[in-house]
Amino acid sequence: MDGKDFMIFVKENDTIESMMLRIQEISNIPLSQQEFVCFDVRTLSDQFWEEEYKRFNAAIQEVSNDIKQIRDIIDGISFNVSIGDIDYGDENEVPDIPTEESVSSGEESDSKENEIPVPLQASLGSTPNQSNIINVKNYRIGSECFGSEWKKHLYVFDTDDKTLCYNYTFVPTRNTIAFLKSSKPYFVCNKCKNINKHAPTVSATIESNENGEEYVKLSENEHVCERQEYEPPTIIYKPYYELDTVEHRGKKVQHLYVFDSNDKTLYYNYTLIPGGKSYQCNNCRNNHNIHVRAKLATDEKGKECCVLYDQKHHRVCKPQKKSAK
């Protein structure tokens, strides 16, 4: 996602699915964006690599031909300007500067061709009218937990459908070259980078107008990703969750019970992902093949909490009834 390497310890009985869940937990790369590439008989053959070499060599040759054509075009351009054609004027000549008297006397030029146009500067009032300006009604700022670190996120909504958004991640200015001289909050769309790491960075900054009102200014680069559903993580605190360890088939399994906010006798049952630190909803996983995750963390103020990453199970699975002890 960000060019960093990380290590995953794999056991001989681990499945591809459990590995993908661990990768998602460490790097926050969704399962749908992960791809495992393995070598097979075809890719290990000499013929395969000979064809790959020919394809790579042909691509280099094509680029080389394009560069040659550009050079030929530039060489064919004639620049018919000589030093003798440039009139430097009399270096001792004092230029005429118009005075207030000459202006008030009605002296005007015979033509407007010599007038110098003055660019008009639009004042950023409460609602700037630009396509790359997003007002406060169409964006939200929130936080998401990655590992043990909380990062700010910017959600820019679709103007026609507020359930869809682009998700930008906050990047400290000290980590960017282009914004070293800027103190404005700077956000980047990592989803675009995951799809095409060579694509121009799609970014956004938080600006303020002359009245001190904040708005979002988007970069001119286009997204290569699609908008996603606006489902920010939910943070809950005790007593709305609790942990329990249950022995199952001779092994101890850690469970996380997330209670219904309106009825504490109802709960959703999560189990710890083997080798990881996240929990997944059993009902969603076993009956609906949906990965609904939760994680124990400390909030930005240092208080213990539980982070619910997805709420889809509220629509497809029903909470269990807590038995009386």
Same domain, 188 and 259: no
pLDDT at residue 171, as a whole number: 86
- 2 pLDDT band, cuts 50/70/90, is low
Q: Is the pLDDT of residue 23 over 50?
A: yes
pLDDT at residue 223, as a whole number: 93
pLDDT at residue 238, as a whole number: 92
Residue 225 inside a domain? The answer is yes
CA gap 210, 198 in Å, rounded: 36
CA gap 62, 169 in Å, rounded: 37
Residue 190 inside a domain? The answer is yes
Q: Is the pLDDT of residue 277 over 80?
A: yes
pLDDT tens profile 130-171 = 778 998 889 999 988 887 788 899 999 988 888 999 999 998
Residue 239 inside a domain? The answer is yes
Average pLDDT of the chain, as a whole number: 76
Structural domain harbouring 247:
234-321
Residue 127 inside a domain? The answer is no
Q: Is the pLDDT of residue 181 over 90?
A: no
pLDDT tens profile 211-269 = 889 999 999 899 999 999 898 888 999 999 999 998 878 888 899 999 988 888 999 99
Q: Cβ distance 283 to 290 under 8 Å?
A: no
Same domain, 216 and 238: no
CA gap 218, 303 in Å, rounded: 34
pLDDT at residue 78, as a whole number: 57
CA gap 154, 142 in Å, rounded: 7
Q: Is the pLDDT of residue 179 over 50?
A: no
Question: Which of the listed residues 169, 195, 229 is the one where a domain comes to its end?
Answer: 229
Q: What is the CA radius of gyration of the chain?
A: 31
CA gap 232, 245 in Å, rounded: 29
| Higher-confidence position of 104 and 163 | 163
**Four-CA torsion 261, 289, 24, 44, nearest 10 degrees:** 180
Q: Is the pLDDT of residue 176 over 80?
A: no
Q: Is the pLDDT of residue 14 over 70?
A: yes
Helices and strands in the chain: count of H runs, count of E runs: 6, 16
Residue 149 inside a domain? The answer is yes
CA gap 122, 68 in Å, rounded: 44
| Higher-confidence position of 44 and 252 | 252
Same domain, 187 and 243: no
Q: How many domains does the chain have?
A: 3
Q: Is the pLDDT of residue 122 over 60?
A: no
Same domain, 196 and 255: no
pLDDT-above-70 percentage for the chain: 71
